[in-house]
Chains A and B, each alone.
Chain A
Amino acid sequence: EVVLTQSPATLSLSPGERATLSCGASQSVSTNYLAWYQQKPGLAPRLLISDSSKRATGVPDRFSGSGSGTHFTLTISRLEPEDFAVYFCQQYGNSPITFGQGTRLEI
């Protein structure tokens, strides 16, 4: 199965700054089928990005996804207070579906 490694494990930034989160895959993700989710404490994950770079409905344009093959990036251009959460990547191009271990974005 494809192992996804997210870095860093924890990212400490301030509101207004730019955040760059990485997701590395142990093998190439077919068709760049890579998604990003945001999870806040006590809540279910929320889909942000699918197919590596497509924003989900209602997701602010400060969130952007990029990458291909084995390296993918989620960028938050200017952090808002509500963006501090845990972020997971997920690949669905290779069976079985797998998730990364998460990056905690903290103030």
Chain B
Amino acid sequence: QVQLQESGPGLVKPSETLSLTCTVSGYSISSGYYWGWIRQPPGKGLEWIGSIFHSGTTYYYPSLKSRVTMSVDTSKNQFSLKLNSVTAADTAVYYCARQWGSGDYDPWGQGILVTVSS
């Protein structure tokens, strides 16, 4: 079955760039579907960050658009997230997930906590 796994630093300094990678197993990204990133600040709700197709087509949440870049590496079956100029407000668990239909997500990775602190 399809499985996703996030990886990257768990601690990022303010004003620096948060970089995460999602490795997909059990399915070739090149075969289709959009792939997305969603985050959840500790104790709070979910926030959609954006999604990417294997061709590189991207959609970003408007309020994050100026700071977000997503990319895909089909040779490694991975897709990535970069969020620059981070602040404490970007501290969250970051999830990657497959966009199953028109925007619902299934399955999800286990999530990775990223803390922004000096």
A positions within 8 Å CB-CB of B: 1, 31, 33, 35, 37, 43-47, 50-51, 56, 88, 90-93, 95-102
Contacts and interface: CB of A to CB of B under 8 A. Distances in A.
Nearest to A96: B61
B46 A47 contact: no
- By DSSP majority rule, is chain B's interface helix, strand, loop, or mixed? loop
Q: Give the bracket for the number of chain B residues in contact with chain A.
A: 20 to 34
- By DSSP majority rule, is chain A's interface helix, strand, loop, or mixed? loop
A46 to B, nearest CB: 8
A56 B106 contact: yes
A98 B108 CA distance: 17
Given A45-B108, A47-B106, A99 B100 contact: no
A51 to B, nearest CB: 7
A101 B46 CA distance: 7
Q: Determine which residue in A33, A51, A93, A97 has the highest number of CB atoms from chain B within 10 A of its CB, and name it.
A: A97
B100 A96 contact: no
Given A46-B108, A96-B62, A99-B46, 10 more contacts: A31-B102, A37-B46, A43-B110, A50-B101, A50-B104, A90-B48, A93-B102, A96-B48, A96-B59, A99-B45
